[in-house]
Structure 1
Amino acid sequence: MSLTPDDKVMQGTPKNAALTDPRSNTPKPTFEERIAIGMDPDLCVKVERLPDGSTRRSLVRRVRIPTLAATQGVGAASVAVCP
């Protein structure tokens, strides 16, 4: 039985898709935030990590960014993202 690591382990493991998927990393809104988002759908929850290790949550307005497909005349003109 060999105790040496496999070649794939030595080369590095592939990235876990759940770590980079924005849907899995989106913070869940609180009750009050859900009410505010229901009244204004352009709002989104932004979570910031402060230097002391605590987090600060805030409601911010989504930013519209033009898509590459829009420059070619196909697809959506822009998408709304939370900054």
Structure 2
Amino acid sequence: MESPIHPLSALFDQLGLPSDHAAIEAFIGQHAPLDNHTRLAEAPFWTAAQQEFLSAELDDDADWAEVIDSLDARLRSS
């Protein structure tokens, strides 16, 4: 499996969140598990700007989509 174009830390940077490994793990621990009925971009813990970015990138299947999908999977499996 190829690595995503962007690492998870870059996604957190893009979202304006702390992006070191410990901060990412803490974020996932705090917000997981995300129920299967909520789209990632519609989760209540995002700001409006974060929701807009996530939704647009997924809808466009942009280069961020793969790492966003990875975050989605981690939030649902924890």
Q: Same fold (TM over 0.5)?
A: no
Relative CO higher for 1 or 2, CA cutoff 8 Å, sep ≥ 6? 2
In proportion to residue count, which structure has more strand?
Answer: 1
In proportion to residue count, which structure has more helix?
Answer: 2
Taking structure 2 as the reference length, the TM-score comes to 0.24
